[in-house]
Every structure is written in C-alpha cells, then in structure tokens.
Amino acid sequence: MLFSSLIFLFVFLPSVILLYYISPRKLRNSVLLIFSLFFYGYGEPKYLIIMLLSIFVNYLMGLFVDKYRNEKKIARFIIFLSVFINLFIIGYYKYTNFIVKNINQIFNSSLPLLNIVMPIGISFFTFQGLSYVIDVYRGDGKVQRNPFNVALYISLFPQLIAGPIVRYETVAEQIDDRTESLEGFSYGVERFILGLSKKVLIANNVGFIADEIFKLQTSDLSVILAWIGIISYTAQIYFDFSGYSDMAIGLGHMFGFEFLENFNYPYISRSITEFWRRWHISLSTWFRDYVYIPLGGNRVSKSKFLRNIFIVWFLTGLWHGAAWNFILWGLYYGFILVLEKMFVGEYIEKLKRPFQHIYTMFFVIIGWLLFRSETISYAKDYLMAMFGIGGQGLISSQGIYYLIEYKYLFIIAIIASIPVYPAIQKRLDKMSNSWIKVLIIDYVKPFFIIALFLLCIMYLINSTFNPFIYFRF
C-alpha cells in the first residue's frame, strides 16, 4: 500500500485515525500495531511472517542482552547472534541470487538461481531490529518486556517500508508515553501534504521524463538529452525519497511520535561531505554509530581510518541493492570523501560559493548515474554521451522538446529543492502579530496546503505512474 494511493488516503488513514482517537489511551498502541501489520501484509501477506520472525528474534535478544549486560562475554555473544540472524534474513532474501550469479561468472558454473522474492522494506525493518538490541545493550533505551511494544517499534506503518530508519533510542520513551495534541496533529497533516506534493506533483513527473530517456540506447542520446535525463533522475530520487520521509514524519506527528529529520536540502551542499550530512540522515548516522565508530572511526591510524571509510561505504552501497553498480556507487563516495578529508577539502573551502555548489552537484549527478544504471557498461556509455562521445551530438529535437514542454516543472523542482518554504516560515515566526502575518498564517497557508492536496488527488485519479524508488531496498 502506497502513501500516495487513493485507498491509503481515503480508507486506511481515516480508519486508523478514527479508531486510534476513540480508543482508550491504553489501547492506542494496539490499534497502531494491528493497522501496521495490516498495512505491511496488504500486498503480500506471506511476507508478514518474515517480519514477525524478525520481531520475535529481536524481542528475545533484547531480553537476553539486558539480563546479561554485566557479563560481557555473554552479552557480546548475544549481540553477535542478533547481528548474524538479522543479516542472515536480509542476506538470504536480498543477496543470495547475486552471490550465485557472481559464482557462476567467476567459475563458469551453472548453479541455478533460487525463486526468491525480496520482502518489501526488509532493509529498513531489519536495521531497526538491530538498533533495538544494540541500543538496549548500550543503555540508550530501556528493554521492552511487552513484546507488542517491540512489534510496534519495528512495524510502525509510517516508516516501515521506506524509512526513515527510526532508531530505538529516538522513540523508546514515546512508545510507552507520548502526548498527542491538536497542534502536533495539524503540523503532521501539513507535513504529510507537503511530502505527498513532492512525490505526486514533482517526483512522478520528472521520474516519467527520466524513465523515457533512460529507455533509449546511449547512441541515440544527444548531450542535452543525456543531461536532461540524469538531472530529471536527480530530482526524482530526492523528491521521491524526501517526500516519503516527510509523509512518514507527518504521520508520526498525527499519532504523537516525533521522528528525526531524514533530509535537510542536500542539493544546497557545498561539498560531498556536507551532502552526506544532509542526505538520508537516518542511514548515514546508522552506519556511523553502529559500524564506523565501533571500528574506531577516525581515532586510529591512517590505514585503519581508510579501511573504516571504505568498509562503511561498501556496506552503504551494498545495502541499497544486490548489484555491482550500487557497490561501485558506495565506493565512489568513499573515495571522494577520503579525498575531501585528506587532500582537497581545504581548497574546496577557498572556492567561491557558486563553484562549491557546481563541484558538489557535478559529482552527485555522476553518482546518481551509477545508481540509476542497471549495468556499469551502460553507466559508462551514458557518461560518454553526456560529454558528446558516442552520442548524437550536442542538441536534438527531443532534448529541446523536453526543455520547452517541462520548463515550468524544472523551475518548480529547483525552487522546491532549496529552503524557500522554511525561510518564509522563519520570517513569519519573527514577525509580530501584524495583519500580514495573520493573513498568511490563517488564510493563505491553509488555502495553499488544501490546494496542493486537491492537486495531488486530481493527479492520482488521472495517472497510473506512481512508484516509490526506495521500496525495492
């Protein structure tokens, strides 16, 4: 079930809100849990068993690690067992056939591929299960004796399928005791509609352009068409994923949860290091706190520091998908980050701001080409077409068509990718209660939010193109 589907917007969400708020407080977690399990099992009920298994295992591991936390060897073994089981679950469903394919290529063998279909959102709920056990061991959150509370944390529908990765320490207290308010609910509705608008009005439309261009042979691409295609995908993946995160955060607020931000306008960054402080924050901090720092972080020798960087970015790429282009994408960023930290960072800081932005976006766009391409050879050929090698020259009629036909869409995407809305909000907060502030907050803003929602509904009724990129992870 998609957040941006009519059945979610007009059947599922109103039902869960109604039952949640008419229920006694002690039953509200149960209402959320039941609806969350239904939400996950709606499309493929059989995969609900996998998530329930993950919940059961991590619930037991949490109890054991809390009981034996003072016996270091036993506690560490429990942590190892939890990591092994969770990674085995994700490894079996996500990477088995990838391993078989590579064995066949390396050894010229013909091992059969298994009939495995990856459960949706498995990368997210397994990482949250790991977060629970590790945070209990570290003392960053108290153990849950009630298995239904662990189930709610792992399966909570707002962030279940495509994140953000909600760490247990972030919501440990909120699971047991949280405060719902009209102000929080109103903010949640506003945030949800803004995220829905990012997804439906921008991501879906630029995604259509990107898909049409990436269907072409690279030999058919002009320079301008190749750049339009990859820039469209650059916009699509940001508005798709940040839109989903906005919707998840908004839904959380509707039920009294406060999830941490997952995106902070990454395309205004002035270095790749800054970009990764702003992009998919929940994943970056997860790998930092659960992998990079335990390995020693940067408080080790230079060789171990380099090892730590490349382990983290190898795993980051592998987490995104069982394909070599994802691994190369991760190592690509690891290499750039090492260059920035050790060699070129000080020179980048001396550049004028426009050049810093150009530098950052150039390498981000190349990174998204690796991410989007199904094979490394296609990425190479597409990159050559971007620079006029092996393609159809500089300009083509098709490229001009996309520029003219979708010029307003591209302008809106550019404006929406920079913090204009927060700047207006901040400016309003500083204003005294003048008639202008009252007019904007009480009349203009509600009208704007309602208009966006109605536009989204109109688009959803008339369109069949409504994927979520991160569902496959």
Report domain extents, the chain. Answer: 6-178, 184-467
- In the predicted model, is pLDDT for residue 467 greater than 70? no
Instruction: Give, for 396, the enclosing helix (H) or strand (E).
Output: none
pLDDT band at residue 86, thresholds of 50, 70 and 90?
Answer: very high
Q: What is the pLDDT of residues 17-63, one digit of tens each?
A: 999 999 999 999 999 999 999 998 887 788 899 999 999 999 999 99
Which member of 253, 280, 320, 357 is catalytic? 320
CA distances from 367 to 47, 154, 230, 329, 364 (A): 32, 31, 10, 6, 5
Instruction: Give the residue among 99, 173, 94, 102 at the shortest CA–CA distance from 127.
Output: 94
Q: 164: cis peptide before it, omega within 30°?
A: yes
Residue 388 to residue 382: CA distance in whole angstroms? 10
pLDDT band at residue 426, thresholds of 50, 70 and 90?
Answer: confident
Instruction: Give the residue among 71, 63, 62, 74 at the shortest CA–CA distance from 134.
Output: 62
- Report yes or no: 183 and 401 within 8 Å, Cβ to Cβ: no
* Rounded average pLDDT over 440-459: 90
Q: Measured between alpha carbons, how far apart are the two ends of the chain, in Å? A: 16
Instruction: Give the residue among 44, 78, 68 at the shortest CA–CA distance from 161.
Output: 44
Look at phi and psi of residue 115 and say left if phi exceeds 0, alpha if psi is from -120 to 50, else beta: beta
Average pLDDT, whole number, for the chain?
A: 91
Residue 351 to residue 458: CA distance in whole angstroms? 45
Strands (E), 121-260: none
**Total-model pTM:** 0.92
- In the predicted model, is pLDDT for residue 163 greater than 80? no
Least confident of 98-102, 293-297, 334-338, 464-468: 464-468
- Report yes or no: 263 and 284 within 8 Å, Cβ to Cβ: no
Instruction: Give the residue among 197, 117, 118, 131 at the shortest CA–CA distance from 159.
Output: 131
Residue 76 to residue 133: CA distance in whole angstroms? 11
Q: Is the dihedral of CA 341, 285, 297, 82 positive or negative?
A: negative
CB neighbourhood size of 339 (10 A): 13
CA distances from 178 to 14, 85, 146, 164, 167 (A): 21, 31, 17, 20, 16
Residue 82 to residue 463: CA distance in whole angstroms? 43
* Rounded average pLDDT over 443-459: 92
pLDDT, residue 297, reads 87
What's CA 89's distance to the chain center, in Å?
20
Does 320 qualify as catalytic in the annotation? yes
- Report yes or no: 468 and 244 within 8 Å, Cβ to Cβ: yes
3-state secondary structure at position 326: helix
- In the predicted model, is pLDDT for residue 197 greater than 90? yes
Q: What is the pLDDT of residues 260-311, one digit of tens each?
A: 899 999 999 999 999 999 999 999 999 999 999 999 988 888 899 999 999 9
pLDDT band at residue 468, thresholds of 50, 70 and 90?
Answer: low
| Torsion angle of C-alpha atoms 388, 391, 392, 393, degrees rounded to 10 | 10
- Report yes or no: 161 and 124 within 8 Å, Cβ to Cβ: yes
